[in-house]
Amino acid sequence: MSESKTDILIVGAGPAGLFLAAQLAKINAFHASRTRPGQPAKRIDYRIVDKAEHKVLVGHADGFQCRTVEVFQSLGIAHRVVHEGCEVAEVVFYNPDPEENGGKGGLKETQRVVDTAPGTSFFRHYLLGQARVEQFLIDLVREEDGVHVEQLTEPTSFDMAQDTSATEYPITVTLRHITPKLTNGLEDPKSGLYRSNLFAPANEEPKTSMNGVDASEETVRARYMVGCDGARSWVRKQIGLELKGDSANTYWGVVDAIPITDLPTIRLKNVIHSADSGSILTVPRERGYVRFYVQLGRLEPGQRVNRAEVTIEKIIEKAQKIVEPYKLECADVEWYTCYEIGQRLCDTFEKQERVFIAGDACHTHSPKAGQGMNTSMMDTYNLGWKLASVIHGTANPSVLSTYNPERHAVANDLIEFDRKIAGLFSGKPATREEAGVSLDEFHALWKKMGKWTTGTAIEYSDSSIVAKTKQQTYGIRPELASGILIGSHFENHPAICCGTAQDIQLQHQLISDGRWRIILFPGDIRQSDVQERLQRLGDKLDQVVRRYTPAGEDIDSVIQVLSVFATPRLDVEKQKLPSILKPQKSPYGVTAWDTVFADDKSHHTGDSNTYVGYGIDASADVGCVVLVRPDQYVAGVWADADIERFRDLLDHVLVKW
């Protein structure tokens, strides 16, 4: 049996696993770009394995929320989502009305709301199939880092040293590599029923989808392992965890089809409650397709559905009844499945800070709010930079302890929201004669949670990497930037790049390359007192940043400093700025002119209003300093005179050199 070693073994090549690989690839690519001739590149070794023969081809997840597109922008691939995806602009609510259809009863449009509230994000909400999303990530990993997904490869045994600090590679996994022979009855590529939770419990032992010949085995020793292997996770079982929760005892069908219908809002998102036939949610998809979520029926506790009874014909027939008196036919069905609504959560997402689980492996819920794929990828976005910095030796291993509390809280909030929204979706509307779901309550919840569902309202609590309320401990000054929320992501506002004269989006400068950012808002550099403060600040910053920079590496290799001046671009004399604001980059010693920005007028889009957007007073007698984590979340806000105070926070996280 062959043996190998790796820094990180990723089990499962769905959205969560692929996103982790993409983040690691981006970090490796950054360090490769800074490698001097003749020197070895600083690189994290990782492998991503999946037991399936190939990636998802059709169907599965399709919601792409604003925050997720922002993060894809940080990887350089958001343009592919925007180009191929279908933007959702409005949500339309239909409710039963006995006076409609000439007194025969039917559906009435009762409300419309904007899908993404103005100002939420630079990006909108898009619908795009999981197959394309996975392909974008696969392409990035291959092109940036030369790594390929190892398909038809499944783990069969696991062991971890009791004292994980006593050995460099404490995890031992046996991998089985399979040569495909034939599938086990999954001949219909349009059917996703083989993954449905209606036919097997979430904690049931996963079944391989392939029979194989010429199987070979390999022993892999790893520093860390991340289970991104779905609701029936093998990794979760190995570390003794299980999904805990309950079911709502209702089941739904899902269909991706090109509809022929007279429903006038079919290219918008539609939430339809019928009087007696159930509910349906439709969302527009790319290439003219529409995703239908169709309420099929109720289940007794513990009841399983006969798989033979779940057919595409029956799902479409039920959809036709719900939308009456509108007509509905499906010209082409690309994919279909069914699922039982349930909310389940693991007690923890890690074991000994060496094995982690993410995505459906640790939390499951209904797809009603379009959060599954998004939350899964944001799990590994939170984890990836932490693993990378520990492996590189630039962060203390204790930073890994923040993954579980940060992401467990998000998953718990998601499940609570999903429980409410799924119940309101599945219930029968109230009438004068009969109690039921309050449609007003449904609309109110939908509006209330609008920003949260975009992914832009996530807030992390106080920790070693978030100084949210620790004013006395770290001297934070959140009042200096009322538009920046500590513990939340750094929001976007435009500015002008002093080096290129281009109008830029400031958030887009925060590339997911594993680096922390210090963003300075010194004020108007034309003022003599601001110039003096800036020179003092530059000296202090140089000392702070060098404190965490490994010997021989570029000064911005761990912490990058960006600056935004409340000054016309042409009045920012770049050559007079402190060197920390315009560092030289290896391998050629090129000066970085793309790190200095101005709150100025653009040639094309007018005034930037950067300071106003972030709630910063440009005329204040003190400048503002923002510390941003590698995942774009704000760790703290300080006055420029107190720059050394956030060194106290970084000392707990980063390794001093």
Contacts of 423 (CB under 8 A, 6+ apart): 248, 437
462 in any annotated domain = no
Contacts of 15 (CB under 8 A, 6+ apart): 61, 130, 133, 134, 137, 359, 373, 376, 377
Average pLDDT over residues 345-368: 93
**Predicted pLDDT at 354:** 98
pLDDT in tens, 512-535: 999 999 999 999 999 999 999 999
Q: Provide the b/e sequence for 626-653 (b: ≥16 CB within 10 Å).
A: bbbbbbbbbbbbbbbbebebbbebbeeb
**Predicted pLDDT at 319:** 96
Comparison of pLDDT for 398 and 301, the residue scoring more: 398
What pTM, to 2 d.p., does this model score? 0.93
**Predicted pLDDT at 208:** 44
Instruction: Please say if the pLDDT value at position 539 is more than 70.
Output: yes
What's the rounded Cα separation, in Å, for the pair 361 and 349? 9
Query: Could you write out the DSSP letters of every residue in 164-193?
Result: TTSSS--EEEEEEEEEEEEESS---TTB-G
pLDDT band at 206 (very low <50, low <70, confident <90, very high): very low
466 in any annotated domain = no
Instruction: Please say if the pLDDT value at position 179 is more than 70.
Output: yes
User: Do 477 and 591 belong to one domain?
Assistant: yes
User: Do 335 and 352 belong to one domain?
Assistant: no
User: Do 622 and 524 belong to one domain?
Assistant: yes
**Predicted pLDDT at 422:** 76
379 catalytic? Reply is: no
367 catalytic? Reply is: yes
Say which of 7, 50, 62, 145 is annotated catalytic.
62
Full domain range(s) for residue 640: 471-653
Report yes or no: 35 and 42 within 8 Å, Cβ to Cβ.
yes
Residue that is last in its domain, among 309, 342, 375? 342
Alpha helices in 60-162 (DSSP H): 66-75, 78-84, 130-145
Structural domain tally of the chain? Answer: 3
512 in any annotated domain = yes
Say which of 94, 126, 289, 293 is annotated catalytic.
293
Residue that is last in its domain, among 387, 418, 453? 453
Please, what is the angle between helix 372-392 and helix 66-75, to 10°? 40
Residue type, 593: W
Q: Angle at CA 453, nearest 5°, toward 449 and 458?
A: 95
Our measurement of the distance from residue 104's CA atom to the centroid of its chain's CA atoms, rounded to an integer in Å, reads 46
Q: In the structure encoding, which two tokens stand for residue 132, read together?
A: 């394309």
User: Do 196 and 253 belong to one domain?
Assistant: no
What's the rounded Cα separation, in Å, for the pair 577 and 596? 9
CATH of residue 587? 3.40.30.20
User: Do 79 and 167 belong to one domain?
Assistant: yes
The residue with tokens 């302890």 is: 401
User: Do 79 and 108 belong to one domain?
Assistant: no
User: Do 638 and 520 belong to one domain?
Assistant: yes
Contacts of 83 (CB under 8 A, 6+ apart): none
User: Do 69 and 111 belong to one domain?
Assistant: no
What's the rounded Cα separation, in Å, for the pair 37 and 615? 45
Cis status of the peptide bond prior to 367, with omega within 30 of 0: no
**Predicted pLDDT at 240:** 97
Q: Angle at CA 45, nearest 5°, toward 39 and 50?
A: 150
285 catalytic? Reply is: yes
What's the rounded Cα separation, in Å, for the pair 537 and 640? 7
Residue that is last in its domain, among 404, 420, 453? 453
Say which of 124, 285, 291, 629 is annotated catalytic.
285
User: Do 537 and 642 belong to one domain?
Assistant: yes
Q: Provide the b/e sequence for 394-414 (b: ≥16 CB within 10 Å).
A: bbbeebbebbbebbbebbeeb
**Predicted pLDDT at 185:** 44
CATH of residue 423? 3.50.50.60
pLDDT in tens, 616-632: 999 999 999 999 999 99
CATH of residue 306? 3.30.9.10
pLDDT in tens, 117-169: 999 999 999 999 999 999 999 999 999 999 999 999 999 999 999 999 889 99
Report yes or no: 78 and 123 within 8 Å, Cβ to Cβ.
yes
What's the rounded Cα separation, in Å, for the pair 290 and 282? 7
User: Do 15 and 33 belong to one domain?
Assistant: yes
381 catalytic? Reply is: no
Both ends of the chain: CA-CA distance in Å?
Answer: 41
Taking alpha carbons only, the member of 9, 20, 17, 10 closest to residue 512 is 20
User: Do 480 and 584 belong to one domain?
Assistant: yes
User: Do 157 and 234 belong to one domain?
Assistant: yes
pLDDT in tens, 128-138: 999 999 999 99
Burial of 597: CB neighbours in 10 Å, binned 0-12, 13-18, 19+:
buried
